[in-house]
Structure 1
Amino acid sequence: MKFFIAIIFILGFSSQNVAQNIKEQKQVVDSLYKEDQFYAGVTYNLLANKPKNMNQNGFSLGFHIGYIKDIPINKRRNIALALGLGYSSNSYNQNLLISEQSSTTNYSILNDNSFSKNKFSNHLIEIPFEFRWRTSTPTDYNFWRIYTGFKVGYIFSNSVKYKGELGDFKLKSVDDFNKFQYGLTLSVGYNTWNLHVYYALNNMLNDNATLNNATIDMNAVKIGLMFYFL
Structure 2
Amino acid sequence: MRFVILFFLVTLYSNAQVVRDSIEDKRYLEDQFYIGLSYNFILNHPEGSAQRNLSYGLQAGIIKDIPLNRAGTRAIGIGAGLALNSYYSNLVADISGETISYSINDDITRSKLETHLLEFPLELRWRNSTAEEYKFWRIYGGIKAAYVLGARSKYDLEDISQGFNNTDLTKFQYGLTLSFGYNTFNINAYYSLTELFDGNAAVNGEVLQYRPLRVGLIFYIL
- TM bucket, shorter chain: 0.7 to 0.9
The code of the aligned residue for 1:58 comes to: N
**Match among 85, 94, 103 for residue 90 of structure 1:** 85
Inter-partner Cα distance in structure 1 for 2:127 and 2:26: 16
TM-score of the aligned structures, taking structure 2 as reference length: 0.87
State the match for 2:58 in structure 1: 63
| RMSD, matched Cα | 1.2
Deviates more, 1:212-221 or 1:198-207: 212-221
- The answer to whether residue 218 in structure 2 is matched with residue 223 in structure 1 is no
Inter-partner Cα distance in structure 2 for 1:222 and 1:206: 19
Q: Name segments (4+ residues, structure 1) moved above 4 Å.
A: none
Q: Secondary structure at the match of 1:155?
A: strand
The code of the aligned residue for 2:89 comes to: Q
Deviation (angstroms), 1:203: 0.3
Inter-partner Cα distance in structure 1 for 2:196 and 2:93: 13
**Superimposed CA distance per residue, residues 131-173 of structure 1 (whole angstroms, 9 cap, x where no aligned partner):** 000000111100000000100011111101111147111111x
- The answer to whether residue 24 in structure 2 is matched with residue 32 in structure 1 is no
Counterpart mapping for 1:1-230 below 5 A: 30-111=25-106, 114-165=107-158, 167-172=160-165, 174-230=166-222
Inter-partner Cα distance in structure 2 for 1:143 and 1:75: 17
The code of the aligned residue for 2:194 comes to: N
Inter-partner Cα distance in structure 1 for 2:41 and 2:87: 8
The code of the aligned residue for 1:155 comes to: V
Deviation (angstroms), 1:213: 1.7
Unaligned runs of 5+ in 2: 1-23
* Conservation of the 8 A alpha-carbon contact between 2:26 and 2:70: no
* Conservation of the 8 A alpha-carbon contact between 2:51 and 2:89: yes
**Which structure: larger Rg?**
2
Q: Secondary structure at the match of 2:27?
A: coil
Inter-partner Cα distance in structure 2 for 1:93 and 1:213: 21
* Conservation of the 8 A alpha-carbon contact between 2:187 and 2:217: yes
The code of the aligned residue for 1:148 comes to: G
Inter-partner Cα distance in structure 1 for 2:29 and 2:39: 29
Inter-partner Cα distance in structure 2 for 1:169 and 1:79: 49
**Superimposed CA distance per residue, residues 10-49 of structure 1 (whole angstroms, 9 cap, x where no aligned partner):** xxxxxxxxxxxxxxxxxxx932211000000100011111
Q: Secondary structure at the match of 1:30?
A: helix
Inter-partner Cα distance in structure 1 for 2:209 and 2:51: 15
Unaligned runs of 5+ in 1: 1-28
Inter-partner Cα distance in structure 2 for 1:206 and 1:32: 43
Taking only the aligned residue pairs, the percentage that are identical comes to 42
Inter-partner Cα distance in structure 2 for 1:133 and 1:72: 10
State the match for 2:16 in structure 1: none
Inter-partner Cα distance in structure 2 for 1:57 and 1:154: 26
TM-score of the aligned structures, taking structure 1 as reference length: 0.84
